[in-house]
Structure 1
Amino acid sequence: ALGLAIPLVVSIATERAARGGVLIKDRLALESMRTIDAVLFDKTGTLTRGEPVVTAIEPGAGFDADTVLALAAAAEASSEHPLAKAIIRAATERGLTVPFATDFSSSPAVGVTATVDGHQIRVGGPYLLEEVDATEMAVAGRWREDGAIILHAVRDGVVIGALALADEIRPESREAVDALHKLGVQVVMITGDAEAVAEAVGKELGIDRVLAGVRPEDKAAKVAELQREGIKVAMVGDGVNDAPALAQADVGIAIGAGTDVAIGSAGVILASSDPRSVLSVIELSRASYRKMKQNLWWAGGYNLIAVPLAAGVLAPIGFILPMSVGAILMSLSTIVVALNAQLLRRLDLNPETSARQVLTR
């Protein structure tokens, strides 16, 4: 019974997790999830759908909206970033002719650069404006109040227009945040977006701490800062840029639809992009720990009582435990431990169910 107490629980928990869409690569990661103090979410593609759309275009002097969009789409044509795809999709929907671009290059958290019709075209956020020593367009302030993602298009060092994009928040994100709070877990969001955009999302979801304007290479350092505060961190991410932070966190959780690098750096992999799946992992971790304790108490308590009886401790008063009864009790303890571990199979790890159960306690 003592030998089976832990391995049976671990085996069933791992199998149950796989059936519920959670792949446990590191069993210690599952064990650690019950003790985490904070869940750190990457914003794009995790709390939001990761499918932004262009909501507004403000051209600069001498340019019209279609020209700005076409040039931006040309510069972004070789990029895999969700914002780039949104710009290209907007140009396609408008039926614009996108010119051919050469000499494409990309700089994380800054933007992209390409040559279009002999002119250098750059598209990016606030760090790009710092590099070209330019100021944002006046309309950006109003867009920022609405929580929009703001990009500027620059031709030969001169701002020619601005684009506002919005990334829809997943409807299940609010439920995930509320349920984590119910469990006593702090929720932190990290993003490379401007502070105003990040704060708008954080306020809408009720997130405890927002880390905005974080360059990809600095994400791991932010995780380390939280750990130095004495916080045990579980990091949820899906991109190449998240891999170092996933490795740095006490528990790295990768979205299954994310990149191979992110998946390789994580101890837990979620089959879906539903942020409520994190609750399933926490619930499984806590349930597994309870079963381990129950099995150890049963197996240990049984041995503390049955072994002395089998050794004849009560023989002086005339009680001798028959060997046949001892054999039955030995088998019974093993059966009880095995059956108790099997009760883990009743745990429903559907993200929606996990969130509902936590919120209705």
Structure 2
Amino acid sequence: MEHQHLHAAPGMNHAGHDHHSMMIMDFRKRFYVVFVLTIPIMLLSTMIQHFMGVNWQFAGSQYILFALSSVVFFYGGWPFLKGLADEVKLKTPGMMFLIGFAITVAYIYSVAIVFGLEGMDFFWELATLILIMLLGHWIEMKSVAGASKELELLVQLMPAEAHMVMPDMVHDVKTDTLKENDIILVKPGEKVAADGIISEGESYLNESMLTGESKPVQKVKGDKVIAGAINGNGSIKVTVSHAAKDSYLSQVIKLVDDAQKSKSKTQLLADTAAKWLTIIALISGIATFLYWYLTGQSLAFAMERMVTVIVICCPHALGLAVPLVVAKSTALSAKNGLLIKNRTAFENARKITTIVFDKTGTLTVGRFEVSKVVSLQKDISENEIIRLASALEQKSEHPIATGILQKAKDLSISPPATESFNAITGKGVEATVEGKKILVVSPGYLKENNIPIPEGYTVNDIETVVFIIINKQLAGYIALSDEIRPESAEAVKTLQQHNIKSILLTGDNNKVAKSVSETLGLDSFIAEVLPHQKLEKIKELQNKGEFVAMTGDGVNDAPALAIADVGIAVGSGSDIAAETAGIVLVNSNPRDIVSLILFGKATYRKMIQNLAWATGYNVVALPLAAGVLYKQGILLSPAAGAVLMTVSTIVVAVNASLLKVK
């Protein structure tokens, strides 16, 4: 298939992109030259003169015809002849092989006529054929360029220059020279030139092109900003956190690009179909030729049928059917905060029957706030419990830890230092603080170690509790709770309308899980699961014949994400390379999961429509070209064949560009 140009990363390396537009220009130029030459060729052809009822023959007119047609053949047909040679070299006869073969046959035969073979030449057919092929390729390349345009738009989000803040002045520098810890100034209305942290100023930033979040987000000192986001009305200074090539946007562009290059089952199906179509074209072309020639038709007639069959059969539309949809869908998804790393995972989204929401963080906001602190020992104040707990949690990224540290900060308590810190997998943490051995653990730990749960211990369903143990004495507990995301219920409802079950899989206690599950109307929940058990639970669902999508946060759910049929990493906006997931959702918004599935379905529909059109058209057009209805007076000329082929390709391209994210 000669669609290598589709897989060349558009815009990433400007060379690749310029190469593409140069090819478009090249086809355009050849088209115009051939167009000008086709007019005298038509006028000099005996058949056209016959048609017009004139006789403009003069001595040597066929030599002029031969000369003009040779220019058309070698200059206009050059891209196809070159393509033919390349395909023969690679032993992959395809598109170019067929066109090249068809025009060569037509040319050689016509030249033979000029130099004495009996019959009618086909120069005008040859010229119109090449003309239409050039036009078709030119239009098709423009539509391919259109499908990759979304990626270009992502590339253009990166401003070329940044205002770098120097001790004495602000200096404009090229964005790609920025390094970690440089400070840049972003004026109102400008695009942020690099990922970083705001060091002064505050503003509202529009990140919609990167995350799909339409509302501008307020950012203050200490907040992260993403390169490519558009600054609102405040002026901000940003400390750059890494060089441009590592920025979130560059990662997205690279991801989109890789995804467009990666092949899925549908793509491989289309490639196989195109390969077969090429073989069928050659066989039917030769068979058609032999049939007509041996049943007494003229050599010219048999040749013409063969050329038409081969041209009509060009698996153009087939070759484009999938790549165009791929280019469009990958880039569109990236704009909407869905990053597709693996095409197959994305195309499989339409088969999902069960979605496992890994932690409450997707369905809930994922920010735990301390809702109560209870001391169980007279000589220990509640603030002391927070102070000691915060000491152990300062190393952790866990939402509960963040909640406790936030509380300490609100009470302006500074966490003391810890020694011999140790994490107890899935159960909590332990360390020595100021000479005391302290544990911050889950209720499960108390159960396992037969520590009685204290009297008067009450928490409501949606609270998560950690206990503080000082020198083996239960000292108190902290309850935290997490609020449910407003979009969750609606997302779950939509999934149910599409017959997709939602299951909550969480390390949280049963009560929290039950409460979240009931509030949202989930199909079921599995609680108190340790990380390594998640994998087992997913396998169990798969063994029941479910097609499982797992949403997790990419880093600690790697094994489970890898084993799920579709792994969706959520909320790892900055850590885009969420290792094992096939799809990354920038916003951890459950609504995005719904859009992902619906968009996956829409994309697949488009591919199938395109493949059906491309093959169906051949089923109808091929017999007509071969002359099945010759007796009924229906016969397609090579030029008509070329027109049909071009139209079918354009239908496929237009259909691909109609793809939308709901």
The structure-2 alpha-carbon separation of the partners of 1:104 and 1:262, relative to structure 1 and needing over 3 Å to count, comes to farther
Return 218-227 or 323-332, whichever deviates more: 323-332
Aligned mates of 1:305, 1:130 — CA distance in 2 = 73
- 1:84 pairs with 2:393: no
Q: Tell me the alpha carbon deviations over residues 31-53 of structure 1, each in whole angstroms, 9 at most, x when there is no partner.
A: 11000101111124211222101
| Whole-angstrom CA distance in 1 between matches of 2:456 and 2:413 | 24
Equivalences for residues 292-331 of structure 1 within 5 A: 292-331=607-646
Alignment counterpart, residue 110 of structure 1, candidates 397, 404, 427:
427
Alpha-carbon offset, residue 104 of structure 1: 1.1
Q: Which residue of 1 aligns with 2:552?
A: 237
> In the TM superposition, what is the alpha-carbon distance from 1:260 to its structure 2 partner?
4.8
Paired position in structure 1 for 2:348: 32
Which secondary structure does the structure 2 equivalent of 1:154 belong to? strand
In the alignment, is the contact (CA less than 8 A) between 2:554 and 2:580 conserved in 1? no
Report the 3-state secondary structure (helix = DSSP H, G, I; strand = E; otherwise coil) of the residue aligned with 1:73: helix
**Aligned AA (2:566):** V
Aligned 1:212-227 pairs, distance under 5 A: 212-227=527-542
Deviation string 1:176-232 (CA, Å, 9 cap, x unpaired) is 111111111100111111111111111111111101000011111111111111111
- Provide closer, same or farther for how the CA distance between residues 204 and 40 of structure 1 changes in structure 2, counting only shifts above 3 A: same
- SS of the equivalent of 1:240 reads coil
Q: Is 2:562 aligned against 1:247?
A: yes
User: CA contact under 8 A between 1:41 and 1:236: conserved in structure 2?
Assistant: yes
- What is the match of residue 384 of structure 2? 67
What is the rounded CA distance, in whole Å, between the counterparts of 2:574 and 2:633 in structure 1?
A: 70
> Which is further off, 208-217 or 238-247?
238-247
Q: Which residue of 2 aligns with 1:157?
A: 472
Which deviates further from its counterpart, 20-29 or 255-264? 255-264
Q: CA separation in 2, counterparts of 1:270 and 1:148?
A: 27
Within 1, Cα distance between the matches of 2:650 and 2:469?
Answer: 72
Q: Which has the larger radius of gyration?
A: 2
Q: What is the alpha-carbon distance in structure 2 between the residues aligned to residue 5 and residue 262 of structure 1?
A: 29
Map of 1:10 onto structure 2: 326
Q: For 2:425 and 2:591, how far apart are their aligned partners in 1?
A: 29
Aligned residue pairs: how many? 345
Q: What is the DSSP-based 3-state SS (H/G/I as helix, E as strand, rest coil) of the residue aligned with 2:451?
A: coil
SS state of the match for residue 408, structure 2? helix
- Return the TM-score normalized by structure 2: 0.50
Give the TM-score taking structure 1 as reference length. 0.91
Tell whether the 8 Å contact from 2:573 to 2:587 is kept in structure 1 after alignment. Answer: no
Offset at residue 92 of structure 1 (A):
2.0
| 1:187 corresponding residue in structure 2 | 502
2:100 aligns with none
Distance 1:182 1:208 in 2: 12
Task: Give the match for residue 358 of structure 1.
Answer: none
Residue identity in the other structure for 1:123:
V
Contact persistence 2:446–2:453 (CA under 8 A): yes
1:58–1:139 CA contact under 8 A, matched in 2? no
Question: Aligned pair in 2 of structure 1 residues 239, 106: CA closer, same or farther (>3 Å)?
Answer: farther
Instruction: Give the conservation status (yes or no) of the 8 Å contact 2:553–2:572.
Output: yes
Q: Specify which structure has the bigger relative contact order, considering alpha-carbon pairs within 8 angstroms and separated by 6 or more residues.
A: 1
Q: Percent identity?
A: 45
User: Is structure 2 residue 452 aligned with structure 1 residue 123?
Assistant: no
SS of structure 2 residue aligned to 1:241: coil
> C-alpha separation between the residues in 2 aligned to 1:295 and 1:258?
33
CA distances 1:295-325 after superposition (whole Å, capped 9, x unpaired): 1222222111111111110112332223322
Aligned-pair CA distance for 1:268: 0.5
Match of 1:137, SS? coil
State which drifts further: 3-12 or 94-103: 94-103
Q: Which moved more, 1:266-275 or 1:93-102?
A: 93-102
Amino acid at match of 2:337: G
| Aligned counterparts of 2:324 and 2:455: Cα–Cα separation in 1 | 63
